[in-house]
Structure 1
Amino acid sequence: MRFLAVGALVLATPLFIATTSLAKDKKTIKELKKQIGYLASDELEGRRTGSNGEKKAAEYIIAYYQQNGIAAYKGNYRYPFSFVTGKEIMPLTSIIINGQKITDLSEAFPLPFSVNSKRATGDALAGVLEHGNVWLMPLYSDADEAKDAHFDWEKTAHEKAKEAAEQGAAGILFYDNYGAKYEPEYNKKSDYETLDVPVGILTYKGYKKYIEKIDGSVAIDMMVVLKKAEMTGTNIAAYVDNGAKHTVVIGAHYDHLGHGEDGNSLHAKKDGQIHNGADDNASGTVALMQLAKRIKNSKLKKYNYLFIHFSGEELGLLGSKAIVKQEQLDSTKLAYMLNMDMVGRLNDSTHALTIGGVGTSPVWGRVVDKNNPSFKISYDSAGVGPSDHSSFYYQGVPVLFFFTGLHTDYHKPSDDADKINYKGQAMLMNYIYSVVAKMEKEPKPAFTPTKQSTVGKVRFKVTLGVMPDYSYQNGGVRIDGVTENKPAIKAGMKGGDIIIQLGEYKVTGMQTYMEALGKFAEGDKTEVKIMRDGKELALPIEFK
């Protein structure tokens, strides 16, 4: 009897564990559906950084941590940061044609590279380029150009206006006399070099209304007043304090695209639809919340655990960069960082999972199980990638990045909660927890610099090997970090430098930086001018 009883116990134990595990998974999936369902609902209007939807999401996340007894980091859950959204047209801006002030932006608007608060007046004739007068100039050279989807009207306008200003124009007013197929719109994020004259444009509608039928000169009075527009985003941080020397950061961004206002939507129509971002990144947000609860209730005590929900990721990793700087989160304080971005669309056929950052520490080769039967894992060794772990990598912190892959709903209104693979996400959360548990048995991981990933990046003939700070709006391109064995680091460039010129090409922002970079080929040698600690430096550089 005793033998049989023991045998029964041995047989029953795996069944009990399996049943318990299945019950936990069902509960997890139920919670995932509820939480992702809310965060990706129309009520939150796409969780755009700085919006009411972001605030509602933040309140929901904080309430979860409070309900589960997970403390705020340093007494605060909210870590706000400000960022520049572009140039805002101020009420003092005026474009007056023959005494009629135009207030409708669909008829006329200033261009963002105009001089600020400088008035220009004159009687202008189209094609008459008089020194010291306002120049009235066509934007398009012919009807074909006006219909060309690839015509860069803003670049053309800047080049023409710059040349006109150099030739003595007091101001420039462009006009569309063809009816462009793709109408010009005010670009508040333009980073073209500011000119010394006011510049505006009459749309086709404005041209037809104000100057088409005028025979003779046109009285123009224009002044452009712009200011930097700012918004505030909010990171959320919760903390499990185990009294340890080092802290582990586990993160995920919770912002998304709102209604697509910031130009990063891939939706074909500009119709203002809500982009709910279920996979990107309500999936990672909820995974972080549930992993935090699990870690808080576990026996994992070797490290402290800092759970950060980043905002501003979709605008250029703004939130993660901000909190790294605000709280001085670097390798002296942190053991490692795990990032979850788009972890909700595991393919049931391929089970493909990408894990980035495996080259940032030797320990990852021992801890990350590539042969896990639940997934077909692809490694990316790079510590730099299109998500928030990059901000920590540049502080010398080993990182891992979990990602179930792109899909046709990426950055579109169709990224909805009903398309999440909840069972697959629950499996992945278990896997990530196992990585955290394994790290309890390892010493603080050593950091290894890696080559930069090329996945999802614009292709140029050459590269500097820098990570730009997309939040910087004060002229030039500020560098967050440099990549090993690339031209920038070999030239002596480092994080914090501001690129102001590349060869003969001035750099006033990302647009002009990319244009300048496109002028060079492999093997070219030139000079890069930077600002460092308020001083201008010129460094020789070779593109290899």
Structure 2
Amino acid sequence: MKNFMLHLLLALLCLVCSLSFQYCYFITPLDSAQVKHNISYLSSDSFRGRLPGTLENYQAVTFIKNYFESQHLKPYKDSYLEKFSVLYPKRIEGTPYLRIMDQNGFIVKQYKYGTDYKEDMLNFRDNKISFKKSDILLEKGNAFQVHNGNKYFIFYNPEDDNLNFRSSFMANSSQSMYIMIQKQTARDIKKYIDSGYEVSCFIPFENKLTSIYNVIGYIKGKDPNLPPLVLSAHFDHLGTDLSGKVYRGSLDNASGTSFLLGLVKYINSLGKPDRNIIIASFNAEEFGCLGSKEFVQKYSKELKGGRVINFDMIGSNKKIPLTIMGGRWDTKNSGFIYEIADLCLENKVNFKYIFQNSSDHEYFRAYAIDAVTLSDEDMSKIHTPEDKEQYIDTASIDRCFNIVSKEIINYSFHNNFFVLYCGRLFILSSIGIILMLRSIGKRF
């Protein structure tokens, strides 16, 4: 009887060893070096900042679509491309100017673009303004609002006189155009208009309606009727300024997009999930999360009861906590947020909370769908030309994967024991087999 039990236990250990070895061999962990390579590619000068409406944004769409196809993702609702319309800031012909004019229309002073003034990208409902002192509606410090007909323009001095920061584009802004000016420029303008001169400004951008695309694929689950898991990131950024300076958006958000692409290989290596896993690469996040809004409004019924993990800025080289970002009305006790925080605690990952609608989780939460954004909230170079690949750290990428991979297994693979602990199981079962063989050998 003892020999039978020993042989039974040996057979069980061999089975565990074999299964765990297969999982260890076939599972492909996230390759953070490859993620960084893709970040470098997507944020290179050839993509010119991936501004929605530009050729380079369409090229990014093509790159992501081709990757989805190469990884055998199924097109969501029969197409990888989800088309929708947006207003975008289109570059038009002309040279920018900010100048002082006398009563006869002669130029008294011409300011230098990029040094004395520069457009902020918030809106270009109108791109030309001439005004005198009587047109200034509100003045505060080195900022003033100009009223011209039924149009409003803002001239303001940015923090530290830094003209490099570029805001997101908001077509529904109440102001027609925003112009950043140096402190000295603001003082000059005040002096001139107090003396009866006129200020004239032109920025060659205009709001233009166009069609752009989200890229959506999915991995089919065993039970497609279960609410899906959605993994998402936005790929758009802020384009270039009028001098050709590229806003690369390496951290924001070539990083999240590249991380998402890396996850696809990992998930495919796990086998067939229990539920559908939707891989959503959103456009026009920098225009007010318009891509995710389009997606949620269209498919809210299918998404009900599901979960969303969004990635926005993954890979900072600053030693900062991982941010769990929920919606404006969430708290740390909101169910899904609590679960992600618990995973961080279990895996000794330093983290913090933020509750605001500032990424693509916003509209999921508006439809009461569980959603979080994971982020390295390093704002030091965001929306400036300094957001470059060289400031990406693979350790931060690996940190995020350590948390996300466990949530994927938990929610979409029923906490598969072999997936979670294949390495440990293989080692322990191998040791057990050796010990059992020795024990059986001594008996004979």
SS at structure 1 position matched to 2:306: strand
Seen in structure 2, the aligned counterparts of structure 1 residues 388 and 151 have a Cα distance that, compared at 3 Å, is same
RMSD between aligned residues: 5.0
1:431 maps onto 2:414 in alignment: no
SS at structure 2 position matched to 1:33: helix
Q: CA deviation at 1:99?
A: 12
User: Contact 1:70 / 1:293 at 8 angstroms: preserved in 2?
Assistant: no
Deviations 1:81-122 (A, max 9, x none): 21124799999xxxxx9999x9xx99xxxx9899xxxxxxxx
Aligned match for 2:246, one of 269, 274, 278:
274
Structure 2 residue ranges without an equivalent (≥5): 1-5, 95-101, 112-122, 151-160, 163-168, 177-187, 198-204, 416-444
User: Contact 1:87 / 1:188 at 8 angstroms: preserved in 2?
Assistant: no
Residue of structure 1 in register with 2:64 after alignment: 61
Residue of structure 2 in register with 1:365 after alignment: 338
Aligned match for 1:288, one of 254, 260, 267:
260
1:355 maps onto 2:324 in alignment: yes
Aligned match for 1:231, one of 207, 210, 235:
210
Aligned match for 2:312, one of 329, 337, 341:
341
User: Contact 2:228 / 2:278 at 8 angstroms: preserved in 1?
Assistant: yes
What TM-score, normalized by structure 2, do the two folds share?
A: 0.62
The number of residue pairs the alignment matches comes to 340
Residue of structure 1 in register with 2:370 after alignment: 398
SS at structure 2 position matched to 1:301: coil
Aligned match for 1:259, one of 240, 248, 272:
240
SS at structure 1 position matched to 2:368: coil
Seen in structure 2, the aligned counterparts of structure 1 residues 360 and 90 have a Cα distance that, compared at 3 Å, is farther
Residue of structure 2 in register with 1:35 after alignment: 38
Q: CA deviation at 1:305?
A: 1.1
SS at structure 2 position matched to 1:329: helix
Aligned amino acid, residue 231 of structure 1: T
Q: CA deviation at 1:332?
A: 5.7
The structure with higher relative contact order (CA 8 Å, sep 6+) is: 2
Aligned match for 2:224, one of 235, 241, 244:
244
Written as runs of structure 1 = structure 2, the 5 A alignment for 1:473-484 is none
Residue of structure 2 in register with 1:386 after alignment: 358
SS at structure 2 position matched to 1:259: coil
User: Contact 1:239 / 1:304 at 8 angstroms: preserved in 2?
Assistant: yes
Seen in structure 2, the aligned counterparts of structure 1 residues 136 and 356 have a Cα distance that, compared at 3 Å, is closer
- For 2:68 and 2:219, how far apart are their aligned partners in 1? 11
Aligned amino acid, residue 290 of structure 1: G
Seen in structure 2, the aligned counterparts of structure 1 residues 374 and 424 have a Cα distance that, compared at 3 Å, is farther
Aligned amino acid, residue 86 of structure 2: F
Q: CA deviation at 1:140?
A: 7.7
User: Contact 1:50 / 1:234 at 8 angstroms: preserved in 2?
Assistant: no
- For 2:308 and 2:267, how far apart are their aligned partners in 1? 15
What percentage of aligned pairs have identical amino acids? 23
1:375 maps onto 2:349 in alignment: yes
SS at structure 2 position matched to 1:237: strand
- For 2:316 and 2:103, how far apart are their aligned partners in 1? 59
- For 1:112 and 1:44, how far apart are their aligned partners in 2? 23
Deviations 1:352-373 (A, max 9, x none): 1111237585255345413244
- For 2:131 and 2:67, how far apart are their aligned partners in 1? 60
SS at structure 1 position matched to 2:273: coil
Q: CA deviation at 1:424?
A: 2.6
SS at structure 2 position matched to 1:43: helix
- For 1:37 and 1:276, how far apart are their aligned partners in 2? 9
Task: Judging by fraction of residues, say which structure has more helix.
Answer: 2
Aligned amino acid, residue 61 of structure 1: I
1:408 maps onto 2:380 in alignment: yes
Written as runs of structure 1 = structure 2, the 5 A alignment for 1:60-99 is 60-85=63-88
Deviations 1:437-483 (A, max 9, x none): 1124779xxxxxxxxxxxxxxxxxxxxxxxxxxxxxxxxxxxxxxxx
Residue of structure 2 in register with 1:298 after alignment: 270
Aligned amino acid, residue 398 of structure 1: D
Seen in structure 2, the aligned counterparts of structure 1 residues 431 and 420 have a Cα distance that, compared at 3 Å, is same
- For 1:240 and 1:112, how far apart are their aligned partners in 2? 41
Seen in structure 2, the aligned counterparts of structure 1 residues 328 and 276 have a Cα distance that, compared at 3 Å, is same
- For 2:233 and 2:291, how far apart are their aligned partners in 1? 11
Seen in structure 2, the aligned counterparts of structure 1 residues 333 and 300 have a Cα distance that, compared at 3 Å, is farther
User: Contact 1:343 / 1:403 at 8 angstroms: preserved in 2?
Assistant: yes
